[in-house]
Amino acid sequence: MKITGVRVRDIRFPTSRNLDGSDALNVGDYSATYVIVETDGGASGHGLTFTNGRGNELTVAAVHALRHHVIGLTLEEVKADMRGLYRKLTVDPQLRWLGPEKGILHMATGALLNAVWDLWAKAERKPLWKLLVDLTPEQLVSTVDFSYLSDALTVEQALELLRKQQPTRAAREAEMRAQGYPAYTTSTGWLGYSDEKVRRLCEEAVAAGWTHLKMKVGQDLEMNRRRAGLIRSIIGPKGKLMMDANQCWDVPEAIRQMHSLAEFDPWWIEEPTSPDDVLGHAAIAREVAPIRVATGEACQNRVIFKQLLQAGAIGFCQVDSCRVGGVNEVLSIMLLATRFARVAQHRRGGRGGDPSGGLADPSYPRVPSAGPNCRTSAFHRWSLRLRPRHWGSPCGGRSSAGNGCRPRRDTGHTKSGSYSRRLHPDRSCRLRVSKTRGTRSHSDARPAGRPLGTQTVSLGAS
């Protein structure tokens, strides 16, 4: 099976209309650079990266600039040297200067690699999570680029970590299949929502069984306190409340705000400052303990994660497969989190879905960093997914109360809480909406101001 072509789609969702996805710094239209790797045998692999509005045009162009590295390769060549493919993409002699291994090019690299991994999984007739679970420690480690990591994690140490988990792997996989993978919801607390809407959404989420809810916080401390008090009054003292500042504070302001918000017992504060400020995160972590610091959604690469872990700057390592260099780099970050005994979480969600769910599920059977405190993010009201079945988790996530789903073999359907989520078969850009409320519609038309080739999806009523 030889890779013969790479197609790229620019797909956008008008989330700004109802302020879905709004936080302290970002209000835009959630988008996906959607990649389809085509082969001479008719099979295809699907991957994506998550962007915002016009920014999608840049990552689409970056995928086009990188695609020659995979065209012409056979699947056997890919499987024999997945680390080498990662290096080809990240050390391109004419493009590396624009990174290296960060920003637009790195996100495009992740989308392309995720599509190649999806192709491999389909060839094995397995979902991605199962492919990763079934690889031997030696095979997994062979896919990881250990450049710049040897002061924190060597190949030998990574093999030791994985081999140590081998005897209990099957039992943990069976547990995950039976009980699902824990998830929290972030769709109840977007910053642009009114208090009335937040109250309604929180009440609906709690009624559906969700016990872990995340809220957005901003510069206005009094608003943050009011919103935190509202949510805490609904979830009660036993519910877990998480907060996300989306990088809007300087270090002293983050400490000031969290000292005041500690009254509402937040489990963590996410992205309290610049994602590149390792020492700033460490200072915040020291000052706001026992509230933990979480970050990773905008971390550029494994090197930043290494430094955050070395500095004791984070309690939750939130890796995002749509930000870093795809599955290969996610594996290295999970191993780093295990090495430093931190909880590795997988951010998932956004319009179009992402492969993070498929990476969350093998993390529990394979590495101890994905233990009982691990939660994968889920935007549970947003059921629209552009996502191949083979990325899919065995359960699609479950609410913290445990009322998630069990595997439904080969159906491509999952359920999380009381909100259905459909994983799509291998039809490129086949869009469906499965919502408890609202219209079902899809538009291929190009609105005014949109570049040719852009797809915009109508979301219906909120």
Contact assessment for residue 259 and residue 249, using Cβ atoms and an 8 Å cutoff: no
- Secondary structure (DSSP) of 176-229: HHHH--EEEE-TT--TTS-HHHHHHHHHHHHHTT--EEEEE--S-HHHHHHHHH
Is residue 293 included in any domain, yes or no? yes
Residue 436's pLDDT is what?
28
Sequence-distant (6+) residues with CB within 8 A of 218 are 23, 24, 191, 224, 245, 248
Residue 357's pLDDT is what?
52
Interatomic CA distance for residues 12 and 108, integer angstroms: 16
216 is catalytic: yes
Residue 437's pLDDT is what?
30
- DSSP structural state of residue 10: E
- Catalytic residue, chosen from 346, 390, 415, 424, is 346
pTM: 0.81
Residue 336's pLDDT is what?
96
Is residue 115 included in any domain, yes or no? no
CATH number at residue 391: 3.20.20.120
Residue 407's pLDDT is what?
29
The domain total for the chain is: 1
Is residue 129 included in any domain, yes or no? no
Is residue 45 included in any domain, yes or no? no
Is residue 37 included in any domain, yes or no? no
Contact assessment for residue 416 and residue 183, using Cβ atoms and an 8 Å cutoff: yes
Contact assessment for residue 429 and residue 33, using Cβ atoms and an 8 Å cutoff: no
Interatomic CA distance for residues 337 and 316, integer angstroms: 9
Residue 373's pLDDT is what?
58
Residue 443's pLDDT is what?
30
Dihedral-angle region of residue 33 (phi above 0 means left; psi in -120 to 50 means alpha; beta otherwise): beta
Interatomic CA distance for residues 48 and 51, integer angstroms: 10
- Catalytic residue, chosen from 212, 216, 281, 306, is 216
Contact assessment for residue 17 and residue 456, using Cβ atoms and an 8 Å cutoff: no
Is residue 18 included in any domain, yes or no? no
Is residue 233 included in any domain, yes or no? yes
Tokens of 456: 């915009």
Determine the distance from the C-alpha atom of residue 211 to the mean position of all C-alpha atoms in its chain, rounded to a whole number: 20
Is residue 164 included in any domain, yes or no? no
346 is catalytic: yes
pLDDT tens, per residue, the chain with 462 residues: 999 999 999 999 888 887 777 777 777 788 899 999 999 999 999 999 988 889 999 999 999 999 999 999 999 999 999 999 999 999 999 999 999 999 999 999 999 999 999 999 999 999 999 999 999 999 999 999 999 999 999 999 999 999 999 999 999 889 888 888 788 898 898 888 999 999 999 999 999 999 999 999 999 999 999 999 999 999 999 999 999 999 999 999 999 999 999 999 999 999 999 999 999 999 999 999 999 999 999 999 999 999 999 999 999 999 988 899 999 999 999 999 999 988 877 665 554 545 555 565 555 666 655 555 555 665 544 433 333 444 444 434 444 343 333 323 322 222 222 222 222 222 223 333 233 232 222 333 333 344 445 555 544 444
325: containing domain: 170-438
3 state DSSP class of 450: coil
